């Protein structure tokens, strides 16, 4: 919502809905069927499909868990919905079980892995990923027809046509928990506003890093946390729209 998405709906396991309704002010919530572990269950599939009919994009993965039934739900949703998707975190882990499903998806898909998640997707080691970030990203994006944002120092944005962009903003303090989830939401927010997936990934990554740099300048890298970045996004957007 800080990046400009006017309306956001959170699909949440039913037993957690009361908590999120209190915690979140602007975001709407939809309580969905859950597993015994209180994660989203397969029975949530039809309701997710129905709700998605009026949506511009789906962001899936952060905090969704690696419970087996939830992973089955993720793969079924990704393989069925006909809207752009931003796939991150636990949803990437679920997809890594059967990555070939990405080849059959006709709508835009943006994956936002960190090196460990990229290792699971490719079967390579994290070390191998880090030693060859550009080519690994490019090869995966081309083979599977997706947009890929490989997070880390100088985040890489790879496109299905083989083009590569390398992001200059950001700092080591942004390695703290939750900052990648914010980037995922920012990309989804721009997609919802009509940005091409490539432009959404490039712009969100740059704005995300620049917001983190502003926080680091004020508070230092050591103390930087994810919600600090949220508070700086409006400032960065304001400066960008001024041409600065």
- pTM equals 0.96
- Closest to 85 (Cα-Cα) out of 55, 41, 117: 55
Within-domain flag for 45: no
Model confidence at 243, pLDDT cuts 50, 70, 90, reads confident
In whole angstroms, give the CA distance from residue 222 to residue 86. Answer: 29
CA distances from 38 to 11, 121, 237 (A): 13, 26, 37
40 DSSP assignment: B
Residues 6+ apart with CB under 8 A from 45: 73, 76, 77, 80
What digits encode the pLDDT tens for the residues 74-109? 999 999 999 999 999 999 999 999 999 999 999 999
Question: Is the predicted pLDDT of residue 54 greater than 90, yes or no?
Answer: no
Within-domain flag for 152: yes
111, burial (CB in 10 Å: exposed 0-12, middle 13-18, buried 19+) = buried
CA distances from 244 to 53, 140, 200, 235, 239 (A): 38, 34, 19, 11, 5
Within-domain flag for 67: yes
What digits encode the pLDDT tens for the residues 26-43? 999 999 999 999 999 999
- Residue labelled with tokens 């089955």: 72
Sheet with strand 156-158: strands edge to edge:
58-60, 85-87, 109-111, 147-150, 156-158, 164-166
Within-domain flag for 102: yes
Model confidence at 224, pLDDT cuts 50, 70, 90, reads very high
Question: Is the predicted pLDDT of residue 116 greater than 90, yes or no?
Answer: yes
What's the whole-number mean pLDDT along residues 20-29? 94
Within-domain flag for 215: yes
**Parallel, antiparallel, or unpaired: how do β-strands 28-32 and 58-60 relate?**
unpaired
CA distances from 22 to 37, 61, 118, 229, 230 (A): 22, 22, 35, 22, 19
What's the whole-number mean pLDDT along residues 8-29? 95
pLDDT of residue 128: 96
Within-domain flag for 15: no
CATH of the domain at 115: 3.40.1190.20
What's the whole-number mean pLDDT along residues 52-62? 95
Within-domain flag for 112: yes
Q: Give the residue numbers spanning the domain of 88.
A: 60-241
Question: Is the predicted pLDDT of residue 52 greater than 80, yes or no?
Answer: yes
Q: Is 225 helix (H, G, I), strand (E, B) or coil?
A: coil
123, burial (CB in 10 Å: exposed 0-12, middle 13-18, buried 19+) = exposed
Q: How many domains does the chain have?
A: 1
In whole angstroms, give the CA distance from residue 140 to residue 128. Answer: 14
Mean per-residue pLDDT over the chain, rounded: 96
Kindly report the backbone phi and psi dihedral angles of residue 108, in degrees, each rounded to the nearest multiple of 5, phi listed first. Answer: -65, 135
Within-domain flag for 6: no
| Tokens, residue 176 | 């703290």
């Amino acid at each position: 919502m800080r990046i400009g998405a006017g309306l956001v709906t959170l699909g949440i396991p039913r037993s957690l809905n009361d908590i999120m309704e209190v915690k979140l002010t602007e975001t709407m919530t939809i309580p969905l069927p859950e597993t015994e572990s209180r994660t989203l269950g397969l029975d949530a599939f039809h309701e997710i499909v129905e709700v998605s009919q009026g949506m511009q994009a789906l962001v899936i993965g952060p905090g969704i868990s690696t419970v087996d039934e939830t992973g089955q739900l993720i793969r079924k949703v990704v393989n069925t919905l006909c809207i752009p998707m931003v796939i991150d975190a636990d949803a990437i882990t679920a997809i890594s079980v059967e990555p070939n499903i990405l080849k059959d998806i006709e709508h835009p898909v943006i994956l936002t892995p960190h090196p460990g998640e990229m290792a699971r997707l490719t079967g390579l080691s994290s070390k191998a990923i880090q030693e060859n970030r550009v080519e690994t990203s490019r090869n995966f994006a081309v083979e599977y027809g997706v947009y890929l944002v490989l997070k880390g120092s100088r985040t890489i944005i790879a496109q299905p046509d083989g083009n590569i962009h390398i992001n200059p903003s950001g700092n080591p303090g942004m390695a703290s928990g939750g900052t990648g989830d914010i980037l995922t939401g920012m990309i989804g927010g721009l997609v919802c506003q009509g940005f091409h997936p490539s432009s959404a990934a490039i712009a969100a990554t740059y704005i995300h890093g620049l917001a983190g740099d502003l926080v680091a300048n004020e508070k230092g890298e050591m103390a930087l946390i994810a919600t600090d970045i949220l508070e700086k996004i409006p400032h960065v957007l304001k400066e960008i729209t001024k041409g600065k």
